[in-house]
Amino acid sequence: MTTGTMDGFGRPRASAAPADAGLVLLYAPGFEAIPAAFPLRGDLAIVGREPPAGGLCIPQSAVSRLHARFTPTIAEAGAGDDADRAGWTITDLDSRNGVLVNGRFVREAALAHGDEVRIGDAIFKYVADEASAYVPYRIDGMVARRGPRASELVGGMRIDAIRTEIDTFGPTPLTVLVLGETGSGKELVARSLHAASGRRGGLTALNCAAIPANLVESELFGFRRGAFTGADRDHPGLVRTAHEGTLLLDEIGDMPLEAQAKLLRMLETREVVPLGAARAEKVDVRVVCATHRDLQALVDDGRFRADLFARIQGCTLTLPPLRARKEDLYALVRHVLDRAERPDMRLTFAFMVNVCRYDWPYNVRELEAAVRRAVAVATTSELDARHLPEGVRRVMNGYGEAAPKAAPANPSPPAREPAQPGAPAPRAAVPTESELRTLLAAHGGNVAAVARELGKDRTQIHRWLRMHAIAPDAYRDPKA
């Protein structure tokens, strides 16, 4: 008798380079001529205006002929959970305009998943996997070989995966649980599920967090006249109102435990018993539940029934937060402008840099409010960074500075020359946007004068101005 070897379930060994890592385009002027995603493969990748075969071509004047190099790196074995994990390092090839990672100039930097990389006027994010899956999806919503996809859900690869699940679960009678942060579009997914169901009834919604606990049960299941003080007529309840349609239970994590028990019974029997009624009534309703809460944690704390959680989690759709799908920002901004009946509005590069840098903690709802505000305060058909809320613009503080260097183990204070009387205070190596604007205003837009004051070449000043999308002409006196 021969004994075979048991199948192994150990940790897979890392390859020489990360599997399907790459760059995903977030925004660039002329994005139509730039790949939506660039998988990094092999032992070397060059990015530039005229890279060698197999490199990433960015046809912009702000990009040097050979701008940056990507090389794979591997963590040393035995380094803990991250051992043998491969990554990529970006190196600036003495480019004219430099390389920024997360808003800071770098000479060389090891990249982590989600890092923002700017090369010339093209903004990417680095992904540690699935780079190839992004390739067909352009940032304006066009999909290779398919064109635009008709849907209320706006987005690329991540949202297309949600659309596929909606197409799968929509026509079924199964209860669906939609998870996602506040403002991420859970109600929109519910509407899409209802549209895909083909059910004759409408979509009825209840926000479980907005109704007092003692009223949730009567709102859901209805009541008979005289069931309690003030019940002067029959009330059908939302479940029966949604008969032959879809019932959305938003923020189900806030539903009281007693109502949860009756909801579970309704899901299992498809019957409801209104308050004050003697017998159950049959209902044909499809239920969609949504929440931003961690239901498993609520189950562990005894605040959500384990049997109800087991009943509703079979078909779960999880919406990614907006910060995890920044490649959709441009399409979402254009969508909001269309809904605001302002498709004519132009977006400056500075506007989109701010939009890409901000993490949008309240997701699409916050983005829509910011864009609508920008439209309201703009006096022309151009949206610039100054039209965004201050909280969004604040992320640009320190943008374009050099990345901090690691301090030596035993640092010694650098030798300093004694200050000369009347000498100007030392300036930071890279001026901030505010400092540049102040200097331009003081010198009437004269770039040469700004360069002399900073002790820099005019070419360097123009580079910083392009980085912050500052037009010196705006500071010149037209009568001069």
Q: What is the pLDDT of residue 437?
A: 85
Domain ranges for the chain: 22-134, 157-318, 325-396
Block residue for tokens 């302002």:
342
Q: What is d(CA 264, CA 305) in angstroms, rounded to the nearest whole number?
A: 9
Question: Would you state the CATH architecture of domain 22-134?
Answer: Sandwich (2.60)
Tell me what the pLDDT averaged over the chain comes to.
Answer: 85
Question: Would you state the CATH architecture of domain 325-396?
Answer: Orthogonal Bundle (1.10)
Model confidence pLDDT, tens digit, residues 148-183: 555 689 999 999 999 999 999 999 999 999 999 999
Is the CATH code 3.40.50.300 the one for domain 157-318? yes
Model confidence pLDDT, tens digit, residues 376-409: 999 999 999 999 999 999 999 999 988 776 544 4
Q: What is the pLDDT of residue 446?
A: 86
Model confidence pLDDT, tens digit, residues 132-147: 999 999 999 999 866 5
Among 381, 377, 378, 388, residue whose Cα is nearest residue 329: 388
Q: What is the pLDDT of residue 468?
A: 79
For residue 146, what are its two tokens? 């398919």
Pairing between β-strand 203-207 and β-strand 246-250 as defined by DSSP bridges: parallel
Q: What is the pLDDT of residue 18?
A: 58
With beta carbons less than 8 A apart as the criterion, state whether 104 and 397 touch: no
* pLDDT beneath 70: ranges in the chain: 1-18, 74-86, 145-151, 224-232, 276-278, 405-429, 477-480
Q: What is d(CA 41, CA 20) in angstroms, rounded to the nearest whole number?
A: 7
> Residue 469, class by beta-carbon neighbours within 10 Å (0-12 exposed, 13-18 middle, 19+ buried)?
middle
Model confidence pLDDT, tens digit, residues 299-339: 999 999 999 999 999 899 999 999 999 999 999 999 999 99
Q: What is the pLDDT of residue 63?
A: 97
